[in-house]
Amino acid sequence: MTQTLIIEAGRTERQYWRDLWKFRELFYFLAWRDFLIRYKQTFVGIAWALVRPLLMMLALTMVGKIGKMPTGGAPAALFFFCGLLPWQFFSTAMSESGNSLVTNANLVSKIYFPRLVVPASSVIVGFVDFLISAGFLVLLMFYCHFTPPPQIIFLPLFVALIFAISMGIGFWIAALTVEYRDFKFVIPFVVQFGIFVSGVFPLPAHAAEHWRLLFSVNPLVGIIDGFRWSLLGGGNVVPFPELAVSVAVTVFFVFSGLWYFRKMERTFADVI
């Protein structure tokens, strides 16, 4: 009935995954809390989840139209929104989970729970925003009288990929920020710059064949192309090598993120 808990140096490893399951309710509550407070005391509230990508879409569409950017036959607004959708999720998840441990420092230094819960629940909050924006995409498609191609059945794969890379990078940044607060300053920069190197707003070099594979070392490139391919089709393709590189890099980041987070976790309470 009553189990015995053993605390020893280096022992936590064995109980960790069981604890993670035991603390699943905390995970749910933290995500719920972050979501509640995210739009508290704001005038338009949850609509911010829409307004941000919408404004970005308008801006990008305008620039894209002026520059006569190829959109693979899809309406420019849809083209850019399909790119922004995963990008916004990734960037929100990255910045929120990056800061999550530091903003929850009082929890970390006073209560035991698997710390993985904290950045993971931040990613979930970003995911809720993502779902709201996705709902808007459906409306936008109706408005443009656009019928998605049959390969839309592959969409869940790309959603899973963007979710995975957000988690992986989130674990890395969260653990690094605990020790090196420098990342507080690095992340906003990455978020601003990323739009151009991830293919949300494709640069000419991005379209050139011989550069393409190199670009796809950034896993977002393959994932965003994948979103466009499955949602818009037409001239939007995701070459297999590019996708393979993206998947490989994503898997690498998920596992290395977990490894690094677990390694650093035991000292969080002392360092934070």
Partner 1 sequence: MSQSNSVIAVKNLSKRYSIGQIGSADDCMKYNPPGLRHAIEDFVRHPLAWWKRRKIKNEHFWALQDVSFDVNAGDVVAVIGRNGAGKSTMLKVLSRITEPTAGRIEITGRIASLLEIGTGFHAELTGRENIFLNGAILGMTHAEIKRKFDEIVAFSEIERFLDTPVKRYSSGMYVRLAFSVAAHLEPDILIVDEVLAVGDTAFQKKCLGKMQDVSRNDGRTVLFVSHNMSAVLQLTTRAVVLEQGRVIYHGPTDQAVERYVGIIGSDSTVFFPVEKLPRKFRGAGAVRFVSFRFDRAVPIFSPGEDFKFVARVRAHESTPRVRFSMTIFTREGAPIGTCFGVERPGLRRGEDLEFEISMPRLPLASGYYCCGVSVGKGDNRSGMVDFDTILDTLAFEVRAEEGEAGTVAEWARGWGSIMLPNLKYRPLLQDRTPEKTLNNSEMLPA
Confirm if 205 and 211 have CB atoms less than 8 A apart.
yes
Question: Under the criterion CB under 8 A, does residue 209 sit at the interface with partner 1?
Answer: no
Burial class (CB in 10 A: 0-12, 13-18, 19+), 15: middle
Question: Under the criterion CB under 8 A, does residue 189 sit at the interface with partner 1?
Answer: no
Q: Which of residues 20-59 bind partner 1 (CB under 8 A)?
A: 25-26, 28-29, 32-33, 36-37, 40-41
Burial class (CB in 10 A: 0-12, 13-18, 19+), 17: exposed
List Cβ neighbours of 176 (8 Å cut-off, separation of 6 or more).
183, 260
Minimum distance between the CB of residue 169 and partner 1, rounded to whole angstroms? 17
Tell me how far CA of residue 219 lies from CA of 78, 103, 161, 259, 260, in angstroms: 22, 28, 9, 19, 19
Minimum distance between the CB of residue 175 and partner 1, rounded to whole angstroms? 12
Question: Under the criterion CB under 8 A, does residue 8 sit at the interface with partner 1?
Answer: yes
Question: Count residues contacting partner 1 (CB under 8 A)?
Answer: 39
Question: Under the criterion CB under 8 A, does residue 240 sit at the interface with partner 1?
Answer: no
Q: Which of residues 143-182 bind partner 1 (CB under 8 A)?
A: 179-180, 182
Largest CA distance in the chain: 70
Confirm if 232 and 148 have CB atoms less than 8 A apart.
yes
Minimum distance between the CB of residue 6 and partner 1, rounded to whole angstroms? 6
Tell me how far CA of residue 43 lies from CA of 39, 48, 53, 92, 229, in angstroms: 9, 9, 18, 20, 36
Please choose, from the candidates 108, 105, 260, the residue with its C-alpha nearest in 3D space to the C-alpha of residue 172. Answer: 260
Minimum distance between the CB of residue 198 and partner 1, rounded to whole angstroms? 24
- What's the CA gap between 120 and 161, in Å, rounded? 15
**Span from 49-57, 67-75, 99-107, 122-130 in contact with partner 1 (CB under 8 A):** 99-107
Question: Under the criterion CB under 8 A, does residue 10 sit at the interface with partner 1?
Answer: yes
Question: Under the criterion CB under 8 A, does residue 7 sit at the interface with partner 1?
Answer: yes
Minimum distance between the CB of residue 171 and partner 1, rounded to whole angstroms? 18
Task: Rule CB under 8 A: choose which of 42, 109, 147, 192 binds partner 1.
Answer: 109
List Cβ neighbours of 182 (8 Å cut-off, separation of 6 or more).
none
Nearer to partner 1, 172 or 229 (CB): 172
Nearer to partner 1, 78 or 174 (CB): 174
Which residues of the shown chain bind partner 1 in the complex (CB under 8 A)?
Answer: 2-12, 25-26, 28-29, 32-33, 36-37, 40-41, 104, 106-113, 179-180, 182-183, 266-267, 269-271
